[in-house]
Structure 1
Amino acid sequence: MSTAQGAGQAPRPLYRDPIHDGPTDPVLVWNRDLGQWWMFYTARRPAAPGPGVGWVHGTDIGIAVSDDAGASWLYIGTARGLAYEPGRNTYWAPEVFWAEGCYHMFVSYIRGVPDRWEGHPRRILHYTSDDLLDWRLHAPVALGSEKAIDAAVHRLPGGGYRMWFKDEDHDSHTYRADSTDLLSWGGAEPVITGRAHEGPNVFALGGWYWLIVDEWRGLAVYRSADLATWTPNGLILGEDTRTAEDDDVGRHADVVEAGDGRRAYVVYFSHPCLGSDGREESYETRRSWIRVAALHVRDGRLVCDREEPVPAGFLPIPIPARP
């Protein structure tokens, strides 16, 4: 169901994992030393045998790199040094950025390879790296929850950092916690409640801060002037925006500002053949691809048209340090 890119346009899909064909939860970071964009993602295993949802567990963090501003991507393996406990374990939804003189990764961790969604503690682990490939563990992040996943971090205007995360112990709502040094976090409290969701991501565009979350029906959008108070601002990449080439809602995404303050790009995953035609779950319905779409702010709203062409070299080079 993928479509060849037009001349001068980004690939459609943007990226497929050549090992398992199941990349999800992407995050993009600029490699300062090599002058490349690196994509980190959860490497799901859609062809894995066994009962239940074992195929979404036992996952590594995959890495693909681009040296042409996103026009092409090369798989280079998985992040090294993440082993937290012996055996085969599960790593999900990396958040990766440069701050305080090194790269940081906050990644969701589950022991083993569960075949059920429920009944398994989850935690967020903090790692650092000098080169984005080899990682050293600092510690689990203390957030007051036994089921905290999906970290997103952004620098606060007055100094320090804020983390947003999904708290499955509290109705799968988005919570936040603050830190001055990225090492200790305190004051966890709810930010977005109501409908259950996951995968928060925070960015600045058009004079506002934006928070997007995956509601499994598209990405819900919230707007803020101060990173504290958030106002609902609609839904992007929802069911009503499906196309013949991308026949699924957009899921768990990252956003990269274009560098001009007027545009950004949302990099998300979707299932190319979700099984809406009634077929039973299989490799074909489990697999996932990474896609990209342009974002704009118009009349104070965040808008996204998946059919808008995205230029092949859509990623800015260089960019300011993030978050």
Structure 2
Amino acid sequence: MQSPLFRDPMYDGAADPVLIWNRQTEEWWMIYTNRRATAEGPKFAWVHGTDLGIASSRDGGKTWLYRGIMEGLDIEWGRNTFWAPEVIWHEGQYHMYVSYIQGVPYDWDGHPRKMLHYTSKDLLQWKFQSELRLSSERVIDACIHQLPDGRFRMWYKDENHHSHTYAADSQDLYHWEVMGPVLTERAHEGPNVFYFKGSFWMVVDEWRGQGVFKSADGEAWERNGWILNEPGTRTDDATIGLHADVVVQQDQAYIFYFTHPDRPDHHKLPQTYAERRTSIQVARLDVKDGRLICDRNESFELSLLPED
């Protein structure tokens, strides 16, 4: 598998990837936060003012072509910020939940992060549905999966509550009821939930690799270790793996994540383009003796299948 899998050719800051099978064009799409690694400006302006980038693959994920940005999402005038999309397909349409910040702040604090819901028939023309009322006004990084009883559960990071993972439930993907905190062990972000080999799994970005949690029912979670916490040997893969998405197909699971290849000390704030730039990587997951494992140096052939 080539490494890195993808780099954004416009700003070189692809982050927070989510993969979805485009049923209209019959290709895989990667939608991601289009960080502006090359942008000038004060402090953290480069991680704001971001669009959602789009890359497509016609060969099962082996190679990716940058296609542009997702348009038509604006709910007000001006240059605004979109972060960390979650996109799912349900009953004939796509649903997207994306974190939204008004304008282009250059600092972290003092700016609400809203969760917006859109729907689309083709991944191109989006209809704004609502701003979700969740557990605070600083929520990001939505992930959605169905529970065994058919409910949809959304897991997300609540920055006003110690950057812990909170959850909300819905029967129809439009109306959501906050269920409260789920993971409170330590601060983290980017929860991603998937079902693989008889268990629910959640990976979260702990800024030291991906923390792993396991569940029988998608509700009660127990710590199951870490992955992507040790440097890899592939090109651009020698730092921790950040904010990931997992695609499960039959008995295979693949984790798509990003790295800061030229930022070996992740606790040091990036100042230069080299420290800001990112690469998207992919690795294979497996379960051994009840634990989720990932050998990021493993050689494998990625071949994502079409989905119904």
TM-score (norm 1): 0.92
**Aligned twin of 1:288:** 278
State whether residues 100 and 114 of structure 2, in contact with CA within 8 Å, keep that contact through their aligned partners in structure 1. Answer: yes
Residue deviations 1:242-297 (CA, integer Å, cap 9, x gap): 3363121000000001x223x20000000111154999720011000100000001
**Aligned twin of 1:5:** none
Residue identity opposite 1:260 in structure 2: Q
Pick from 290, 297, 300 the counterpart of residue 287 of structure 2: 297
Deviation of 1:299 (Å): 0.7
State whether residues 15 and 32 of structure 2, in contact with CA within 8 Å, keep that contact through their aligned partners in structure 1. Answer: yes
Once residues 185 and 269 of structure 2 are traced to their aligned partners in structure 1, the CA distance between those partners, rounded to angstroms, is 32
Once residues 76 and 280 of structure 1 are traced to their aligned partners in structure 2, the CA distance between those partners, rounded to angstroms, is 27
Residue deviations 1:74-101 (CA, integer Å, cap 9, x gap): 1111112111221001000000110132
TM-score (norm 2): 0.96
1:108 aligns with 2:99: yes
Deviation of 1:310 (Å): 2.7
2:87 match: secondary structure: strand
Once residues 143 and 159 of structure 2 are traced to their aligned partners in structure 1, the CA distance between those partners, rounded to angstroms, is 15
1:33 aligns with 2:24: yes
Residue identity opposite 2:204 in structure 1: V
Pick from 240, 245, 255 the counterpart of residue 266 of structure 1: 255
Residue identity opposite 1:274 in structure 2: R
**Aligned twin of 2:242:** 251
Once residues 2 and 174 of structure 2 are traced to their aligned partners in structure 1, the CA distance between those partners, rounded to angstroms, is 38
What is the number of residues matched between the two proteins?
A: 306
**Aligned twin of 1:318:** 306
**Aligned twin of 2:190:** 199
Once residues 183 and 157 of structure 2 are traced to their aligned partners in structure 1, the CA distance between those partners, rounded to angstroms, is 10
Once residues 147 and 92 of structure 1 are traced to their aligned partners in structure 2, the CA distance between those partners, rounded to angstroms, is 12
**Aligned twin of 1:88:** 79
2:281 match: secondary structure: strand
Residue identity opposite 1:208 in structure 2: S
Deviation of 1:106 (Å): 0.3
CA distance change for structure 1 residues 252 and 78 in 2, over 3 Å: closer, same or farther? same
Pick from 104, 113, 116 the counterpart of residue 122 of structure 1: 113
State whether residues 120 and 126 of structure 2, in contact with CA within 8 Å, keep that contact through their aligned partners in structure 1. Answer: yes
State whether residues 143 and 188 of structure 1, in contact with CA within 8 Å, keep that contact through their aligned partners in structure 2. Answer: no
RMSD: 1.6
Residue identity opposite 2:258 in structure 1: F
Residue identity opposite 2:123 in structure 1: L
**Aligned twin of 1:231:** 222
Percent of residue pairs identical: 55
CA distance change for structure 1 residues 46 and 280 in 2, over 3 Å: closer, same or farther? closer
Residue identity opposite 2:38 in structure 1: A
Residue identity opposite 2:306 in structure 1: P
CA distance change for structure 1 residues 279 and 182 in 2, over 3 Å: closer, same or farther? closer
